[in-house]
Structures are given as C-alpha cells and as structure tokens.
Amino acid sequence: MNFAIALTAFGLLFVLRKRSRTPWWLRAALGLIAGASLANTGLGAWAAARVTDVSGLIGRILNANGALIVGVVALIVSVIVVYDIAVDRKADKPAMIGLIVLPLLFLAAVGPLATAGSGLSDAIAQVASNSIGKLIGG
C-alpha cells in the first residue's frame, strides 16, 4: 500500500509541477507523503542501506562514524527545508528534494534525531495509508 501511495503522490507532484495556482503547502505535503511512503517500502529500506554504505565509506575517509555523518546531513537538510519554506512560503526545489529525501536519511541515521524522524515518517505514511483506505472503503 505504501508503494502505491508513493507512486500516486509522485504522480500528482508531476502533474502539479506546471500549475501555478496550486497552494505551496499542497506540493510540500505531497512531497513529504511521497518520501515517507517510499521510505516505508522495501525500496526505501534498500536505499537507506545504500546511504549507510556510502556514509560508511566517507566515514572511513574522515575517520568518523558513518551513521553520525548521515545524522549531520539529515540535520542540515532539515534546516534547509525549514529555512526555504519560511523565507518565501513556497516549496522550492531544495525544499522539495529535502522533503522527499529526509525520511530516507532518518532511516539511515542513528541517535535521537533519527528516532524522532523515523517516528514522524512512519506516522505520516500511516496517516496517508489510512486515509486512502477510508477513501476506497478498505
């Protein structure tokens, strides 16, 4: 169900990308739902494992923990998303990319930020799944 929701949200984002009259929060919400739903699939777990592998390689080069590097990147992306949306009340490309990628970064990171972020991503994916289930009568 989460994969279908992710595909639907990405499809709606593709359709809405050219429309200028859509509210800013609709694109941001669809991006976050798409990213959270994608993170709750097998593909999302695989992508998070690849992020962990790459961060482990970078961590060996920098002599640091790879999961800690992912946590720092997740924190930086979170700040970029909040700042981008707060400045002009629009979900520009950096904010959209951040909203889609953040749930995957939360899966790959460790620590309190990762725990809170994964819980938030799971809750968003569950709300989307339950909403779609209610709409189709399931």
pLDDT attached to residue 138: 59
Predicted pLDDT at 80: 92
Helices 42-62, 24-39: crossing angle, 10 deg rounding = 90
**For residue range 84-133, what is the model confidence (pLDDT) as tens digits?**
988 888 888 888 999 999 999 988 887 777 778 878 888 888 888 888 77
Number of domains in the chain: 1
- Give the Å distances, CA to CA, from 105 to 67, 70, 111: 10, 6, 12
- State the pTM of this model: 0.83
> Which pLDDT score, from 0 to 100, does residue 81 have?
92
DSSP 31: H
Eight-class DSSP state of 137: T
Distance CA 17, CA 22 (A): 9
Which domain does 8 fall in, by range? 2-136
Nearest CA to 33 among 107, 106, 113, 122? 122
Where are the alpha helices (H) located in 1-138, listed in sequence order?
Answer: 2-16, 24-39, 42-62, 66-88, 93-108, 112-136
pLDDT digit string (tens) for 22-65? Answer: 888 888 889 999 999 998 899 988 998 899 899 999 999 999 88
User: What distance in Å separates the CA atoms of residue 96 and residue 3, rounded to the nearest whole number?
Assistant: 19
C-alpha–C-alpha distance, residues 75 and 69, integer Å: 10
Q: Residue 23 is encoded by which pair of tokens?
A: 């509210």
Letter for the amino acid at 14? F
Radius of gyration of the chain (CA): 16
pLDDT band per the 50, 70, 90 thresholds, residue 21: confident
